[in-house]
Amino acid sequence: MSYVFQTENKVLFVMKFVMGGELFSYLRKVQRFKEDNAKLYCAMLCHAIGYLHESGVVYRDLKPENVLIGEDGYLCVTDFGLAKQLYEGEVATTVAGTPEYMAPEILNQGTGIIPKGYSLPVDWWSIGCITFEMIVGLPPFYHHGQSTDRLFERVVNNPIKFPDEDPRYAKLHHKIPVSPDARDFLLRLLDKDPDTRLGSNGGLAEVLAHPWLASIDHESLLKKDLEPPYKPKVNKANALDVGNFDEVFTGEEAVLTAPHLKLDREE
C-alpha cells in the first residue's frame, strides 16, 4: 500500500499497479508448471507468508487469484480483505477463505467439532494446496462437478492423492512426475493436524529447511537476483496496459460502492 486516505463515507487505498496479471490466469493458460518452476514460486509465497506471520498476521485467503505477477516475474500477494491480526495466544474462529484452499481446522469451526479456533498454520496448508495445483494442475481435493459440502468432506477426511494414485488423472495427467521430496513436502504441509503441520512449530525457517526447497538460494531470491520462470509482456510506456488481465475484470465498469450511513462523530 502506497497511501491511504478517507472521505466522510469511505476509506481509500492507493496501491501499486502490478501489471503482470494473476497467477491464476497464467496457470490456467499453461495448465501446470515444471516442478522446478513451481518450487521457485512456492518459495516466493513462503517468504511472503512468513513475513506476515512474523507480524502476527494470518492471511486466510491464499489462492492463485490473490497472487499477482510483477513485471519482473516475481510474485506479489494481494487482497488482504480476510487477513487478521492475531496477538499472542489469540486464535481466530470465523469460517473464512476459499473452499479449495481452506484448512480443515477452519472448516471444522462451522461444525462445532473443534471449537478451539485456528491460527497461522492455516496459511501453510493453503501454500500446500497451491503448490500441489502448480505441479499437478488441479487443487488436491477438487473434483469437477462436486458440491461444496462434498469438497469440505474431502478436505476434512480424505488423504491427498498424487496423479499416479488418483483416477482423475487416468486419461490425461497420469504421467505427471512428482519427485519424492516434493511429495513429502506436500504431505507435510497438507497435514490435517495443525499442531504437526510443516511450519507450525518453526515457522518460515522450518518450511525453508525442507529438502525440497534446499536447492534455492533464498538470499538471492529475496534480492530478486534469481531468474523467474516467466516474465509477462508489459508496455511500460502505457500506464493503463491491462493486457495480462482477464477481460472479465477489465470489462467491468469502475463504480464506487454505495456509501454506508455516516455515524455520529461522538459515537
Domain CATH code at residue 127:
1.10.510.10
**Residue 94 structural domain:** 3-250
Q: Is residue 261 part of a domain?
A: no
Under the banding of pLDDT at 50, 70 and 90, the label for residue 128 is: very high
Note the pLDDT of residue 267: 41
Q: Could you tell me if residue 86 is inside a domain? A: yes
Of 75, 27, 13, the closest CA to residue 246 belongs to: 27
Write down the pTM of the prediction: 0.89
Number of domains in the chain: 1
- Is the predicted pLDDT of residue 43 greater than 60, yes or no? yes
- In a domain? residue 211: yes
The answer to whether residue 233 is domain-embedded is: yes
Q: Mind telling me the catalytic residues?
A: 61
Distance CA 156, CA 153 (A): 5
Residue with grid cell 469511505, as numbered in its chain: 10
Distance CA(119)–CA(86), nearest Å, equals 8
Residue 84 DSSP label: E
* Residue 58: burial class (beta carbons within 10 Å; 0-12, 13-18, 19+): buried
User: What is the 3-state composition of the chain as percent helix, strand, coil, each rounded to the nearest 5?
Assistant: 40, 10, 55
Looking at the domain assignment, is residue 48 inside a domain?
yes
Please say whether the beta carbons of 234 and 20 come within 8 A. Answer: yes
Distance of CA 54 to the CA centre of its chain: 17
Domain assignment present for 39? yes
Q: What is the rounded CA–CA span in Å between residue 223 and residue 196?
A: 31
Q: What is the pLDDT of residue 257?
A: 74
Mean pLDDT of 76-83: 93
Question: For 161-209, how does the pLDDT look when each residue is reduced to its tens digit (9 = 90+)?
Answer: 888 777 665 555 567 889 999 999 999 999 999 999 999 999 999 999 9
Residue 260 maps to a domain? no
Domain assignment present for 262:
no
